Amino acid sequence: MPLTRDAIEAALRTVEDPDLHKDLVTLGMVKKIEPDGDRVDLVVELTTPACPMKDRIRGDIEAAVKAKAAELGAVEPEVVVEFTADVRRPNEKIRDQGSPLPNVRQIIAVGAGKGGVGKSTVSTLLAVGLARLGAKVGLLDADIYGPSVPTMLGLTDLATAAEGNMLVPFEVHGVKTMTIGKLVDPDKPLIWRGPMAHGAFKQLATQTDWGELDYLVIDLPPGTGDVALTMAQLLPLTGAVVVCTPQRVAQDDARRAVRMFSQLGIELLGVVENMSFFVGDDGKEYDLFGRGGAEVMAQTMGVPFLGSIPITSSLREHCDAGTPLANWEGENSMGEQIDDLCRSVASRISIASMQGRYVQPTLSVS
Ligand code: ADP
């Protein structure tokens, strides 16, 4: 006797999503159960195409369905699991509160305590990496004082376009992007008073025709200034990522960035350690800045640690050349490490949204 649909569903009620700690049926992730003789076809919808737990979930499903068959004395079926993905909104409140970006599902800010630690590099890698893993991604270069995206994504020779009063984002390397760097003279200093910074951010964020996005990654200016405040008041953020290098002085600044986000009521998705160690051309690893320092800082602040990226000359070269996809090419590429980082950020985003921890930030100045 083969397993019935109900018996299979009962088996799936015992399988938990390892991140979300609820069973797949309760989470609404089981989209199809099709028993056919000694074969069972299942479609399971994940909360992100960058899910790091796919293999584990597949294994748990197979084990649960086979255990159910044994329990009922049914034929042990072949279990075929197909995964789809639907990035969900943080929670329904966002739609109700009228987000200025209703077609963007998850908005993530990338910040740093100070400049030069690799915030734009990590923003770029996250955006391009999530897109490679199958998501629809936008990258908003909100570093209005020193935009790096024109160089890092190779936008120099592309013309800026607008339709009506909306900017058309550049579509490169699988992502949509907009930057102040393509709207102003690249050689002029960018000096913004508070209200102008507010206006520039608002325009870039809300007057760009992003279309439907799973993730919008926002590369913030370094430090704890005007743009972060405007962003927090204007957009329903899912959370923020703080980039930090391992040295003590960098950690001190990153702590301030972490506190700024929590003061703004923005969920801290976690800390990324950039320039963790140096990899020479010989493949040997050199511990330049005190590898692991940012991880310890994250632990002491009770914030998740998302992963680390080493210093390599190839990463710097691909940033300068505006060829981010080259980071996934070649024998010793960093592709696997970047994918791991993207998966870990996507997983934190899914957890934050499922827990519905999003609150519209309220700001009190004392
Ligand atoms: P930030 O946005 O924090 O000011 P950037 O991302 O612009 O910093 O990085 C500063 C410089 O350091 C850039 O030239 C970038 O290519 C380089 N860089 C950043 N991270 C790495 C890394 N892990 N390995 C090599 N070069 C890096």
pLDDT of amino acid 94: 52
Query: What is the per-residue burial (b if ≥16 Cβ within 10 Å, else e) of 83-95?
Result: eebebbbbbeebe
Separation of 117 CA from ligand 1 center, angstroms?
A: 6
Q: How many residues does the chain have?
A: 366
Separation of 115 CA from ligand 1 center, angstroms?
A: 9
Identify the residue whose C-alpha is closest to ligand 1 atom 14. Answer: 316
Beta-bridge mates of residue 109: 218, 240
**For residue 103, what are its two tokens?**
């077609």
Whether residue 120 has its Cβ less than 6 Å from ligand 1: yes
CA gap 288, 353 in Å, rounded: 37
Separation of 106 CA from ligand 1 center, angstroms?
A: 25
Identify the residue whose C-alpha is closest to ligand 1 atom 9. Answer: 118
Separation of 299 CA from ligand 1 center, angstroms?
A: 24
Identify the residue whose C-alpha is closest to ligand 1 atom 27. Answer: 316
CB 9 within 8 Å of CB 33: yes
CA gap 43, 30 in Å, rounded: 6
What 3-state class would DSSP assign to 334? coil
Domains of the chain and CATH, by start: 5-87 (3.30.300.130), 93-354 (3.40.50.300)
Phi, psi torsion values for 177, nearest 5 degrees: -145, 150
Q: What is the pTM of this model?
A: 0.89
pLDDT of amino acid 19: 86
- Directed axis angle between helix 119-132 and helix 335-354, to 10°? 80
What 3-state class would DSSP assign to 185? coil
pLDDT of amino acid 75: 85
CB 206 within 8 Å of CB 100: yes
pLDDT of amino acid 249: 82
Whether residue 119 has its Cβ less than 6 Å from ligand 1: yes
What is the residue whose two structure tokens read 């009228």?
A: 98
CB 179 within 8 Å of CB 102: no
Identify the residue whose C-alpha is closest to ligand 1 atom 15. Answer: 316
pLDDT of amino acid 195: 74
Cα–Cα–Cα angle for 49, 47, 243, nearest 5°? 75
Ligand 1 pocket test target in 276, 281, 319, 332 with most atoms within 8 Å of CB: 319
- Cβ atoms < 10 Å from Cβ of 9: 14
Task: Provide the residue-wise pLDDT of the chain in tens; the chain has 366 residues.
Answer: 788 999 999 999 999 998 888 899 999 999 999 999 889 999 999 989 998 889 999 999 999 999 999 999 888 999 999 999 988 776 555 545 668 898 999 999 999 988 889 999 999 999 999 999 999 999 999 998 889 999 999 999 999 999 999 999 999 999 999 999 988 777 776 776 767 778 889 999 999 999 999 999 999 998 777 888 889 889 999 999 999 999 888 888 889 899 999 988 899 999 999 999 998 877 788 888 878 889 999 998 899 999 999 999 899 999 999 999 999 998 878 999 999 999 999 999 998 887 765 444 444 444
Identify the residue whose C-alpha is closest to ligand 1 atom 23. Answer: 311
Whether residue 115 has its Cβ less than 6 Å from ligand 1: yes
229 Cβ partners below 8 Å, 6+ apart? 264, 363
Beta-bridge mates of residue 170: 177
CA gap 339, 325 in Å, rounded: 12
Beta-bridge mates of residue 30: 44
Cα–Cα–Cα angle for 290, 296, 301, nearest 5°? 140
What 3-state class would DSSP assign to 314? helix
**For residue 165, what are its two tokens?**
């009063």
Whether residue 152 has its Cβ less than 6 Å from ligand 1: no
CA-275 nearest atom, ligand 1: 23
Whether residue 312 has its Cβ less than 6 Å from ligand 1: yes
